[in-house]
Amino acid sequence: MFLFAGEMDCSGPAEPPMTAWEQVAVECVLTAPDGGAPLSGAGVLQPVSQACAEAMGEAIAMDWESFDETPRAFTTAVTPAEIVIGGALVAAGTQGFTVGAALDEQAPATMTARLERFRGLDDLVDDDDAGLLWAPFLADAVDEVHYTGSADYVMRYSEGRIDVGDLDGEEDVGLSAGAEAVLVPQAASFLVHEASHSFYAGHGSCEPLETTPYVWCDDTSDGAYGVGAWWLWTWLGANADRLDEFHCREAQHALYEQCQRIVDVAGFAACAGVEIECG
C-alpha cells in the first residue's frame, strides 16, 4: 500500500523479523511426540527436514561450503554436517530435565552464572524444560561453525568460531572400539563444551593425573570439560531409556572420557562413577 501525504497508516507496527533461533523453533521438531527429547532408539532423530537443516545452519552460522555439503533432510546423522546439525538440535531441543536440575548446586559454578543470565532474560522457572536455557546459551556463544576435518581435534573453539575436526571415531574422539563415528548425543555435549569456552579459558596440563593418556585437562569441574560432562550426565539421566543399548553405552563412554580430563572431581555428581541404567 502506498501512503500519500495526509493519509494515516492504521495497520499497526510491522512484526519484527524472526531471529534465526525462532526460525529453528518453527521449522524443526524439537520435541518427540511423547513430549521427550527429539532422539530415540538407535540414534534416530525426529525427522529433520531440509528447511530445518537450513534454519539450524543459519542459527549456528554453519559454513556449508567447508563441509562440502548442502542442507538436506535426514533422520539418522551420518555425515559431519548431519552430526553437527543433529547435535545442535539435541542440545537446544527438549531435554527432559528441568531448569532447576540444570542449575543444581553441584553444576559448574561459572556455567551456572551464565545460564542464570538467560533464565532471567526469559523469566524461566525451575520447572521449565532446560532446553530453554541451552538454546540461548549456544546462540550467545557460537558465531560460526567451520569444518576442517583435522585429526588433531574433534572440535575446538576460538572467538566465537567452532572448528569441527575428526568425527570418524579416531582414538582422541573418546569413543569405544565399537563406534564408527561421533554419535548425536556426544556431538551435543561437544558443542556445549566448546560453546562454554566463550567464558572459560583453555585447558591446562594433565600432569597431576599420572595415569591419564591425555595432554589437556581442567583442574576442577568448573571448566569446559565439567560443562560437557554435566550436560551429558543430566541429559542421559533423563533420556537413557530412550536409546538402545549401544547408543546409551557410547554416550556413557563419552561422559567417562570427559570426566577423565578433570583433575579434581570431588563432589561433582556427573563424575561420581554411578552407572546410568540403559533402556
* Per-position DSSP letters for 211-254, written without gaps between them: T---SEEEEESSSHHHHHHHHHHHHHHHHGGGB-HHHHHHHHHH
Question: Strand 155-158 vs strand 161-164: parallel, antiparallel, or unpaired?
Answer: antiparallel
* Backbone φ, ψ for residue 199 (5° rounding): -130, -10
Residue 17's pLDDT is 57
Rounded Cα distance between 161 and 142, Å, is 6
- Pick the closest to residue 244 from 38, 43, 96 (CA basis): 43
Residue 276's pLDDT is 78
Residue 273's pLDDT is 79
Secondary element (H or E) of residue 145: strand 144-147
Residue 70's pLDDT is 97
Q: What is the mean pLDDT of each run of 10 residues along the chain (279 residues)?
A: 40 58 93 88 86 96 96 93 95 94 94 92 92 91 94 90 82 54 88 95 82 82 96 93 86 89 92 78
Q: Is residue 256 part of a domain?
A: no
Rounded Cα distance between 137 and 118, Å, is 7
Rounded Cα distance between 21 and 59, Å, is 6
Whether the model pTM is above 0.95: no
Residue 5's pLDDT is 37
Q: Is residue 137 part of a domain?
A: yes
Q: Is residue 267 part of a domain?
A: no
Q: Is residue 257 part of a domain?
A: no
- Pick the closest to residue 77 from 108, 101, 100, 46 (CA basis): 46
Contact 267, 222 (CB under 8 A): no
Residue 8's pLDDT is 42
Q: How does DSSP assign 77-105, residue by residue?
A: --SHHHHHHHHHHHHHS--SSBHHHHT-T
Q: Is residue 58 part of a domain?
A: yes
- Containing domain of residue 113, as a range? 20-201
For the chain, give the number of residues: 279
Number of structural domains found in the chain: 1
Q: Is residue 243 part of a domain?
A: no
Q: Is residue 244 part of a domain?
A: no
Q: Is residue 72 part of a domain?
A: yes
As a dihedral over the C-alpha atoms of residue 81, residue 157, residue 250, residue 82, rounded to 10 degrees, the angle is -10
Secondary element (H or E) of residue 147: strand 144-147
Residue 250's pLDDT is 85
